[in-house]
Structure 1
Amino acid sequence: MCGRYTLSKTPSEIMEAFPVTIPEILDPNYNLAPTQNGLVITADEPGIAQKMHFGLIPYWAADTKLSMSTINARSEEVLEKKTWKPLIEHHKTCLVIADGFIEWDKKTGVSIPWRFVLKDRDLFAFAGLWSQWKGKTGEIYRSFSIMTTEANEIVGEVHSPKNRMPVILDPHNYNFWLDKELAPSALLSVCKPYPDSNMENYRLSTEINAAAIKGIVNNNPQLIQPINSL
Structure 2
Amino acid sequence: MCARYTLTKAQKDLLIRYQVKFPAGYKPNYNLAPTQKGLVITADEPDTAQLMHFGLVPYWAQSTKLDFSTLNARSEEIMGKKTFAPLITHRKTCLVLADGFYEWDKKTGETLPYRFVLKDRDLFAFAGLWSQWKDQFSGEVYRSFTIMTTQANETVGKVHAPKFRMPVILSREEEALWLSKDLGTPDLLNLCKAYPDELMDCYRVDKAVNATVIKGVINNRPELIQAIN
Q: TM-score w.r.t. structure 1 length?
A: 0.97
The answer for the alignment partner of 1:172 in structure 2 is 173
Cα shift readout 1:132-163 (whole Å, capped 9, x = no counterpart): 00002100000000000001101011112642
Shift of 1:108: 1.2
Shift of 1:210: 0.5
For 2:123, the equivalent position in structure 1 comes to 123
Superposed structure 1 runs of 4+ greater than 6 Å apart:
none
Paired residue for 1:34?
34
Whole-angstrom CA distance in 1 between matches of 2:97 and 2:23? 15
The residue number in structure 2 matching 1:4 is 4
Corresponding residue SS for 1:143 = strand
Q: Does 1:159 align with 2:160?
A: yes
Distance, in Å, in 1 between the alignment partners of 2:88 and 2:216 is 35
Q: Which residue of 2 aligns with 1:224?
A: 225
Matched residue SS, 2:15: helix
Corresponding position: 1:75 with 2:75: yes
Q: Give the corresponding residue for 1:47.
A: 47
Q: Is the 8 A contact 2:153 2:162 kept in 1?
A: no
Q: Which amino acid aligns with 2:114?
A: W
Amino acid in the other structure paired with 1:170: S
Q: 2:208 is matched with which residue?
A: 207
CA contact (8 A) 1:89 1:183 kept: no
1:114 corresponding residue in structure 2: 114
Structure 1 184/139 Cα, relative in aligned 2: closer, same or farther at 3 Å? same
Shift of 1:121: 1.0
Aligned counterparts of 2:57 and 2:73: Cα–Cα separation in 1 = 12
Q: Could you say what secondary structure the match of 1:132 adopts?
A: strand
Indicate the SS of the match to 1:104: strand
- In the other structure, the counterpart of 2:141 is 140
Q: Is the 8 A contact 2:7 2:97 kept in 1?
A: yes
Question: How many pairs are equivalent?
Answer: 228
| Contact persistence 1:5–1:33 (CA under 8 A) | yes
- Identity, % of aligned pairs? 64
Secondary structure of the 2:187 match is helix
The CA deviation at 1:125 is: 0.2
**Whole-angstrom distance in 2 between the partners of 1:19 and 1:75:** 28
Matched, 1:23 2:23: yes
CA contact (8 A) 2:96 2:147 kept: yes
What is the CA distance between 1:25 and its match in structure 2? 2.2
Alignment-mate amino acid for residue 39 of structure 1:
L
SS in 1 for 2:91: coil
**Residue identity matched to 1:97:** L
Q: CA RMSD in A?
A: 0.9
Determine helix, strand or coil for the equivalent of 1:190: coil
Give the secondary structure class of the aligned counterpart of 1:79: helix
Shift of 1:184: 1.5
Match of 2:199 in 1: 198
Where does the alignment leave 5 or more consecutive residues of structure 2 unmatched?
none
More deviation, 182-191/202-211: 182-191
